[in-house]
C-alpha cells in the first residue's frame, strides 16, 4: 500500500473545517496523515484542536517578519521541510504572496464561502444577501496567485431562505463546507484529482468543464 497523503492545514480561526477533516479521518473516510496545523494567530481554535489531536502545531506571527513575502517564504519552507504533500487552507485569512506560493500551485487548496467566481474576498454571505441572490454556496479551489481566483474543483449550493441573515446563512452553509472539504481531500488522496496548468482541473484524467457538485457526502459531475 502507498503511504497516506501528508496534509498540512492552515487556519486563522475556530477550525471547524479542520475538525471536519479530523472527524472524516477518524471515521476511516479520509486516508491522510496530518503533518501540521499552522496558524498566524496564537489563539486560533484550530491550534487547540490540533493539540488535542496530537498534530504538530506551527505558529508564525506576522509581526516577526519584515514583509508578507518573508512570512510566506518561511511558512512554505517549513511546510516543505515537514514533507507536506498537500496544503489545505481552512479559514486561513491572509493574502498569500504569489512568488512564495508558486512552488505549491497544484498542491494547495482553499475553501471559500461563496459560489466562485462570485464574491471573492470577504463578507461573502452579506454580499449574497444584499444582491438578492436566490442561492449561495461554498467552493474549494486550487490556490494560485490570484486571490480566490484559482480553478474551482467543487462546490456546495444552498438556497437562500426568507429567514436568512448573515449569521444564519453562514451557519447553514458551514454544515455543507464540512462535507465539501473532506470530499475534495478524499479525491486528492485517491490520486484522482489534478491541477492542469494554467487554470484547469482534471478528474480521472479528464478535464472538468464545470466544478463538481456536492450531493449528500459525495461529489458528482
Q: Does the active-site annotation cover 123?
A: no
Nearer to ligand GAR, 174 or 203 (CB): 174
Q: Which residue, 91 or 211, has its beta carbon nearer to ligand GAR? A: 91
Q: For residues 10 and 79, which CB has a smaller minimum distance to ligand GAR in the complex?
A: 10
- Could you tell me if 21 and 181 are in contact, meaning their C-beta atoms sit under 8 angstroms apart? yes
Confirm or reject binding of residue 113 to ligand GAR (CB under 6 A). yes
78 contacts: CB under 8 Å, gap ≥ 6: 36, 38, 58, 60
Q: Decide if residue 53 touches ligand GAR (CB under 6 A).
A: no
Site for ligand GAR in 71-100 (CB under 6 A): 90-91
- The footprint of ligand GAR on residues 186-205 (CB under 6 A) is none
Q: How far is the CB of 110 from ligand GAR (least distance, A)?
A: 6
172 is an interface residue for ligand GAR by CB under 6 A? no
Q: Is the N-terminal amide bond of 198 cis, ω within 30° of 0?
A: yes
Helix (H, G, I), strand (E, B) or coil at 115: coil
What is the size of the binding site for ligand GAR (CB under 6 A)? 14
Q: Is 139 in the site for ligand GAR (CB under 6 A)?
A: no
Task: Provide the 8-state DSSP code for 145.
Answer: S
CB atoms within 10 A of CB 68: 14
Q: Which is nearer to ligand GAR, 103 or 121 (CB)?
A: 121
16 near ligand GAR, judged by CB under 6 A: yes
Asked if 106 is part of the footprint of ligand GAR (rule: CB under 6 A), the reply reads no
Instruction: Tell me which long-range contacts 195-200 makes (C-beta under 8 A, separation of at least 24).
Output: 195/105, 195/106, 195/107, 195/142, 195/151, 197/105, 197/106, 199/144, 199/150, 199/151, 200/151
Cell 493539540 -> residue: 51
Closest CB to ligand GAR belongs to which residue?
91
Q: Stretches 24-32, 64-72, 98-106, 107-115: which one binds ligand GAR (CB under 6 A)?
A: 107-115
**Inter-residue contact 60 to 74 (CB < 8 Å):** yes
Please state, in angstroms and rounded to a whole number, the distance separating the CA atoms of residues 9 and 28.
19
Q: At which residue does the C-alpha cell 452579506 appear?
A: 126
Q: Does 17 bind ligand GAR (CB under 6 A)?
A: yes
Which chain residues interact with ligand GAR by CB under 6 A?
A: 11, 13-17, 90-91, 111-113, 138, 174, 177
Enumerate the active-site residues.
112
Amino acid at each position: 500500500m502507498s503511504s497516506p497523503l501528508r496534509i498540512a492545514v492552515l487556519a486563522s480561526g475556530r477550525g471547524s473545517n479542520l475538525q471536519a477533516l479530523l472527524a472524516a479521518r477518524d471515521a476511516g473516510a479520509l486516508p491522510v496523515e496530518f503533518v501540521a496545523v499552522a496558524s498566524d494567530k496564537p489563539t486560533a481554535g484550530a491550534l487547540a484542536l490540533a493539540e488535542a489531536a496530537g498534530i504538530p502545531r506551527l505558529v508564525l506571527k506576522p509581526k516577526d517578519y519584515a514583509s508578507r513575502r518573508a512570512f510566506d517564504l518561511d511558512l512554505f519552507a517549513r511546510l516543505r521541510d515537514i514533507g507536506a504533500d498537500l496544503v489545505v487552507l481552512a479559514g486561513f485569512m491572509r493574502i498569500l504572496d504569489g512568488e512564495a506560493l508558486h512552488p505549491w500551485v497544484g498542491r494547495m487548496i482553499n475553501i471559500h464561502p461563496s459560489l466562485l467566481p462570485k464574491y471573492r474576498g470577504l463578507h461573502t454571505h452579506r454580499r449574497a444577501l444584499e444582491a438578492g441572490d436566490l442561492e449561495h454556496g461554498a467552493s474549494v479551489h486550487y490556490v494560485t496567485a490570484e486571490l480566490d481566483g484559482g480553478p474551482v474543483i467543487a462546490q456546495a449550493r444552498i438556497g437562500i431562505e426568507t429567514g436568512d441573515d448573515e449569521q444564519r446563512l453562514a451557519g447553514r452553509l458551514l454544515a455543507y463546507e464540512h462535507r465539501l472539504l473532506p470530499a475534495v481531500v478524499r479525491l486528492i488522496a485517491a490520486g484522482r484529482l489534478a491541477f492542469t496548468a494554467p487554470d484547469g482541473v482534471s478528474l480521472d484524467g479528464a478535464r472538468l468543464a464545470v466544478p463538481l457538485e456536492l450531493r449528500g457526502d459525495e461529489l458528482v459531475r
